[in-house]
Amino acid sequence: MDEAAFRDWLSSYTDADRCIQAFRSQKQFFRVNTIKCGVTEFIGKTKLGCEPIAYCPGAYGLLERPSFQIGKTWEYFLGLIHPQSMPSILSSLALGPKPGETVLDVASAPGSKFSHMAALMENQGVLVGNDLKGEKISALYSTINRLNVLNCIITTLDGSRLPWKSRFDRVLLDAPCTALGSGAGAYERWEPAHSAKISILQKRMIFSSFEALRPGGEMVYSTCTYAKEENEEVVKSLLENEPSARLVDAGLDAPHETGLPEYGDEFKKCMRIYPQHLCSEGFFIAKIRKGE
């Protein structure tokens, strides 16, 4: 599609020029894998140039040259760190899984958020990682093995037809999306009709995920895209059709914009993260609680 048309569309959400400029100068981030190494211990060992992220304990911005390949460092090979975008790290923090809980990651491959949740759970409890695409499971297993995730079960089920009812304390649905906030050349694959089409699948997945959540439990719905059809519209559909569903504050102090006001005051609790906020990819995060 035409880049000028994409800019016009993006400007309905945020400052398009700032967004695109920031997207083209993203920083590299990583988090310490606390399953294998404490943060203080890691800082005492590493020679990586990095700075801590104030609003995200255990996360660091890389200060090496832009072309630096963090995946070729000894810290990476030993599983002491995992490269991950800042909003991706924040989505797991928003969910806040705890040791001993039963947690589901509906679309878990390649495992960045999944392994982060395992660390937050201190490798205790039960963490179910699901992904329908079998070709992506090998990447998930690679992440699990490198980072020493032990409290996990892997399934390959259709996320829009999950077999569980009221089973999990917490559920993460990082839904398949148009990924306009992630990867270069977003405008080249931008197609409004695609958002409308994939929104149908996302709605099926959010209802299925919510059904798997026990009463009193919490879930996070997230995407790495900007389109309201894939974000607020999906969450709105759940709220309108599930009386026990309500939005709650994500509890994160990171820079962001709120959900679109056209959907109502409740959507102020959602987070829209654009590249200019964190020097990272664009993201949407909504936290939802299931009433008792």
Q: Which residues are catalytic?
A: 224
| Of 129, 183, 177, 179, residue with least CA distance to 156 | 129
CA distance 19 to 14: 7
Placement of tokens 């609680």 in the chain: 289
Enter the DSSP assignment of 289. Answer: E
DSSP structure string for 203-254: HHHHHHHHHHEEEEEEEEEEES---GGGTHHHHHHHHHH-TTEEEE-----S
Report, in angstroms and rounded to the nearest whole number, the Rg of the chain calculated over CA atoms. 18
Residues whose CB is less than 8 angstroms from the CB of residue 125 and which lie 6 or more positions away in sequence, other chains included: 97, 98, 99, 100, 101, 102, 103, 151
CA distance 272 to 90: 12
CA distance 85 to 61: 10
